[in-house]
Amino acid sequence: MRHFLTLKDFTKEELLEMITLAQKIKVQTKQKKFVPYMQNQTLGMIFEKSSTRTRVSFETGIYQLGGVGLFLSSNDIQLGRGEPMKDTARVISRMVDMVMIRTFNQSDIEEFAQFSKVPVVNGLTDSYHPVQVMTDYMTMIEYGKDQNPVVAYVGDGNNMAHSWLMMSAKMGFELRIATPKDYACDESIVADALELAKISGAKIIINNDPKEAVIGCDVVTTDTWVSMGQEDEKEARLKAFDGYIVDEDMMNMAKDDAIFLHCLPAYRGYEVSEEVFEEHSDEIFDEAENRLHAQKGIMVWLDSHR
Ligand code: CP
Ligand code: NVA
């Protein structure tokens, strides 16, 4: 049985198998052909943080695969009142067929997985957002940006930056990350990515210069400067990220046909300008829709590997 907690645990070939499956199921879905790959299965969805896309895409996704999703907010289940993660795992995994969790610490989802009888999918932690970056890669393929692309991530060294690090390290493409000095990526995740990059041939460049990162790149991406759980740091963060907005000037330094991706929610006037957001809304909302398709590929793959 496999858990989808970080891309680190999968080979490039396995990740591409999931995306290929997602592409196939997307075509079927567009034709209104709902193949019951996961008939009568229940997906437990535990949320310790808010969500729009993750909740709607997983719940709709499992339904379209012939199963049903259970929305379990930590405000409503005993986890929120202190029942241990490992007990929650041992109870829920006896009743459902797969679990998705959105939580804070990566170690919490790892503990859940350790005690779970069924596959666990990471729906975002403070460290990673692997289903999002799978979606982003699927979107890059659709836009013809998967052949030796250069991807520039500008902004916070957060869960999305870490997920891009892993994706680049696995797929072997060039990734340039620019963050303010005090908001750099986690050192151990960078070290892991650099180690994996030796095998895949990925070029990973990390610095504090957004313009240098973006010059001549194929894909520009960013994320909020204030992630969930960091609300108290908002004022300091907004100051520190001055100069990191992806605006027209910055996009003009990328290739003429560069695409812009954003996992959403976006905060216009902060990490991205209104103009850039609206100019690139086609790819941004294709990316958002692809959450539904990419996650079906991941769930069906995990289901067939137990
Ligand atoms: N991108 C993403 O995960 O969005 P939600 O927080 O709305 O789920
Ligand atoms: N980095 C953001 C991503 C939201 C989808 C957060 O963790 O809040």
- Ligand 2 neighbour 266 (Cβ under 6 A): no
Q: How far apart are CA 193 and CA 187, in angstroms?
A: 10
Residue 208's pLDDT is: 98
H helical segments located in the chain: 12-30, 53-64, 85-95, 106-115, 130-142, 159-171, 187-200, 210-214, 234-240, 248-251, 274-279, 281-303
Q: How far apart are CA 218 and CA 216, in angstroms?
A: 7
Residue 195: burial class (beta carbons within 10 Å; 0-12, 13-18, 19+): exposed
Which of 217, 223, 280, 293 is catalytic? The answer is 223
- Ligand 2 neighbour 158 (Cβ under 6 A): yes
Q: Which ligand is nearest to the CA of 262?
A: 1
Q: Whose CA is nearest to atom 8 of ligand 2?
A: 227
Residue 125's pLDDT is: 98
* Nearest-atom index, ligand 2, CA of 126: 7
CATH assignment, 7-129+290-304: 3.40.50.1370
Residue 164's pLDDT is: 99
* Nearest-atom index, ligand 1, CA of 54: 8
Alpha-carbon distances, residue 153 vs 48, 158, 179 (angstroms): 26, 11, 8
- Ligand 2 neighbour 54 (Cβ under 6 A): no
On whether the 131-287 domain is CATH 3.40.50.1370, my answer is: yes
Catalytic-residue membership of 53: no
Tell how far the Cα of 198 is from the centroid of ligand 1, in angstroms: 31
Q: Whose CA is nearest to atom 6 of ligand 1?
A: 51
Q: Where are the domains of the chain?
A: 7-129+290-304, 131-287
Residues of the chain falling short of pLDDT 70: none
Tell how far the Cα of 224 is from the centroid of ligand 1, in angstroms: 11
Q: What is the pLDDT of residues 254-291, one digit of tens each?
A: 999 999 999 999 999 999 999 999 999 999 999 999 99
Residue 256's pLDDT is: 98
Q: How far apart are CA 291 and CA 53, in angstroms?
A: 7
Catalytic-residue membership of 185: no
3-state DSSP assignment of residue 15: helix
Q: Which residues contact 233 (CB under 8 A, 6 or more apart)?
A: 226
Which of 53, 129, 237, 280 is catalytic? The answer is 129
Identify whether 265 is preceded by a cis peptide bond (ω within 30 of 0). yes
CA-based nearest residue to 3, from 108, 94, 117, 161: 117
Q: How far apart are CA 97 and CA 84, in angstroms?
A: 20
Residue 14's pLDDT is: 98
Helix 130-142 vs helix 12-30: crossing angle, to nearest 10: 70
Residue 163's pLDDT is: 99
Q: Residues with Cβ within 6 A of ligand 1?
A: 51-54, 124, 132, 263-264
Q: Which ligand is nearest to the CA of 294?
A: 1
Mutation test of ligand 1: which of 46, 47, 52, 286 has the most ligand atoms closer than 8 Å to its C-beta?
Answer: 52
Residue with tokens 């709902």: 34
Residue 289's pLDDT is: 98
Q: What is the DSSP letter of 184?
A: P
Q: Which residues contact 33 (CB under 8 A, 6 or more apart)?
A: none
Q: How far apart are CA 1 and CA 267, in angstroms?
A: 39
What is the model's pTM?
0.98
Catalytic-residue membership of 129: yes
Which of 3, 162, 237, 291 is catalytic? The answer is 291
